[in-house]
Amino acid sequence: MPEGPSIVILKEATKQFINKKVVEVSGNTRLDIAFLKDKKIKDFKSWGKHFLICFNDVTIRIHFLLFGSYRINETKNASPRLHFGFTKGELNFYACSVLLIHEDPDSIYDWTADVMNDSWDGKKAKTKLKANPKTLVCDALLDQNIFAGVGNIIKNEVLFRIKVHPESKIGKLPAAKLNALIKEARNYSFDFLKWKKDYVLKKHWLAHTKKICPRCNVHFIKKHLGKTNRRSFFCNNCQVLYK
């Protein structure tokens, strides 16, 4: 599943279609999308893992779920869920969820919760975290209402970076660790963005999918943890359990 930084990359790659008229619309989505023909794309936005295609009076929300993908100015060997053709170029989305939003995106999206957004507000994140002291840090990082855009890779890498065990409770974290959690959720996301653009993201993974802790040279533990039950890779030696 693409995490926030990958959606930012998509947003940058689709800039070429801003102010362009959709001359062709099709796809196997069940939504009635024919009315989008001849409309101009006003903007592309992202909120966490949501990719938003904004027209004047309606917004398309794309969520890539587990296996979604896209192609720009090319196709892949599958039927697109949504296809936009322009006078020059095309945009194709596959195996994703497509939703029509009729409200103004500004009225339904809290941009301050998006770790990649200029409006990101770490203080607000802290307030939300403090309201849930029993939550495990591995669940808190994946909570899209607090850290929109953070996915499993970012979660594992952030916890390794700040030396916190994924089953630590939010309310038991020392103040410095709570601050580090919030700060690194954003920092790591921008490192992710940079590395992903340079095609070197995996090379920089220190914990995610790894077998040996590079700090301690002992085996990582791999476990599905928390309410989110996602894969965690962590070191019992250098990542402290606050419980």
The minimum distance between CB 243 and Zn ion, in angstroms, equals 18
The residue (of 14 and 168) whose beta carbon lies closer to Zn ion is 168
The residue (of 101 and 221) whose beta carbon lies closer to Zn ion is 221
Longest distance between any two alpha carbons in the chain, whole Å: 59
Whether residue 164 contacts residue 240, with contact meaning beta carbons closer than 8 Å, is answered with yes
The residue (of 186 and 208) whose beta carbon lies closer to Zn ion is 208
The residue (of 22 and 225) whose beta carbon lies closer to Zn ion is 225
The minimum distance between CB 175 and Zn ion, in angstroms, equals 23
The residue (of 210 and 215) whose beta carbon lies closer to Zn ion is 215
Helices (H) and strands (E) in the chain, counts: 6, 10
The residue (of 42 and 222) whose beta carbon lies closer to Zn ion is 222
Binding region for Zn ion (CB under 5 A): 213, 215-216, 235, 237-238
85 phi/psi in degrees, rounded to 5: -105, 140
The minimum distance between CB 192 and Zn ion, in angstroms, equals 21
Report how far residue 192's alpha carbon sits from residue 184's, in angstroms, rounded to the nearest whole number: 11
The residue (of 138 and 235) whose beta carbon lies closer to Zn ion is 235
Single out the residue of 139, 109, 118, 119 nearest to residue 47, CA to CA. Answer: 109
How many residues appear in the chain? 243
The minimum distance between CB 235 and Zn ion, in angstroms, equals 3
The minimum distance between CB 227 and Zn ion, in angstroms, equals 25
- Angle CA 229–145–7, to nearest 5: 85
The minimum distance between CB 180 and Zn ion, in angstroms, equals 17
Helix H, strand E, coil C: the string for 214-225 is CCCCCECEEEEE
Amino acid at 49: K
Rounded-to-10 torsion of CA 181, 182, 184, 185: 100
What count of other Cβ atoms lies within 10 Å of the Cβ of residue 74?
Answer: 8
Across the strands, what pairs with 62? 51, 98
Nearest-Å Rg of the Cα atoms of the chain is 20
The minimum distance between CB 138 and Zn ion, in angstroms, equals 17
